[in-house]
């Protein structure tokens, strides 16, 4: 069966998506046509858009992500450079990993790895945030808002996949922002994690006359309903804790609204106490995330959901 899919943000916890997609495949949904997401969800959506399946997602999200945390050592002059580039890490390793995912893509137009949105045979949309220009951006739709290296506005077809996903996955303050130049003002933006503006863009493919159901995969901390996430503000680095908690609270409040409004198409996946930015997950944590995603989706599809969208319509 064909379907569209939207994936929420969730940092390092994206392995849960692999379990959920595997369960969706077992329920018959093996052809994903339109895919969208934010942050970790953008990575999952991109991978499915270039031909990976549930098993392929599992291999990707079981990677050694400790290498992505490229902060550098105490004698690394780049550590100071990171600070002035508005990030704790270099961000280079994350970009390289995304490029490697594309390089190994199962779907290869004309025998080459997909590099731009124009190379895709499926629809892909990923969400970012431009905090300098105070707006949400959806790529490739908003590509023309920015200039390419030749000073011309991007087109949706020519915008680089790796850049879009790197923007969406760039947790602010941890990874340095991407500085694309705004086409209207000619000023450099600061493009970061889409979770700031829409961590759960369930609306991306809504249509008054839907052709396919949209299944929305949402990660959330804690265990429903009695164990919400606990993120204390403490120690000398309390400003960092506070900023993270402000962002997470704003994101979760919007996500909760979406979940209550569209419960019949949202697969809620509890991620327990696994931290968003822990890049050295234990095997037990990885097993938990995968099983949590699989079990949540298995239960969801077993209840024969109708995928009613915001127009009150369903393709089922």
Report the catalytic residues: 39, 193
CB atoms within 10 A of CB 213: 22
Which of 79, 87, 114 lies closest to 98, judged by CA? Answer: 114
Rounded Cα distance between 216 and 36, Å, is 9
Q: Which residues contact 146 (CB under 8 A, 6 or more apart)?
A: 153, 154, 180, 181, 182, 183, 189
End-to-end CA distance of the chain: 11
Question: Are 138 and 202 within 8 A, CB to CB?
Answer: no
Distances (CA, A) of 83 to 11, 89, 171: 21, 8, 15
The structure tokens listed for 258 are: 């979406």
Which of 218, 269, 217, 211 lies closest to 1, judged by CA? Answer: 211
């Amino acid at each position: 069966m064909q379907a569209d899919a939207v994936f929420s943000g969730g940092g390092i916890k994206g392995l849960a998506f692999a379990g959920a997609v595997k369960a969706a495949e077992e329920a018959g949904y093996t052809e994903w046509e339109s895919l969208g997401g934010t942050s970790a969800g953008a990575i999952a959506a991109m991978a499915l858009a270039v031909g990976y399946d549930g098993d392929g997602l599992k291999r990707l999200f079981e990677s050694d992500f400790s290498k992505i945390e490229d902060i550098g050592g105490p004698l690394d002059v780049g550590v100071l450079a990171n600070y002035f580039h508005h990030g704790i890490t270099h961000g280079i390793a994350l970009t390289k990993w995304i490029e490697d995912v594309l390089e190994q893509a199962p779907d290869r137009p004309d025998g080459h790895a997909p590099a731009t949105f124009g190379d895709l045979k499926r629809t892909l949309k990923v969400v970012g945030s431009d905090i300098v220009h105070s707006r949400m951006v959806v790529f490739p739709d908003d590509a023309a808002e920015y200039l390419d290296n030749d000073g011309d506005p991007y087109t949706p077809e020519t915008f680089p996949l790796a850049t879009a996903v790197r923007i969406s996955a760039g947790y602010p303050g941890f990874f340095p922002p991407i500085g694309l130049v705004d086409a209207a003002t000619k000023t450099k933006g600061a493009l970061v994690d889409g979770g700031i503006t829409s961590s759960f863009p369930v609306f991306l493919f809504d249509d008054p006359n839907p052709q396919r159901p949209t299944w929305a995969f949402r990660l959330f901390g804690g265990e429903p309903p009695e164990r919400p996430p606990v993120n204390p503000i403490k120690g000398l680095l309390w400003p960092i804790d506070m900023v993270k908690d402000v962002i997470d609270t704003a994101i979760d409040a919007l996500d909760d609204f979406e979940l209550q409004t569209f419960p019949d198409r949202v697969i809620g996946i509890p991620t327990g106490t696994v931290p968003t930015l822990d890049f050295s997950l234990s095997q037990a944590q990885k097993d938990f995330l995968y099983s949590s995603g699989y079990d949540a989706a298995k239960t969801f599809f077993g209840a024969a959901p109708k995928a009613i969208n915001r127009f009150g319509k369903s393709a089922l």
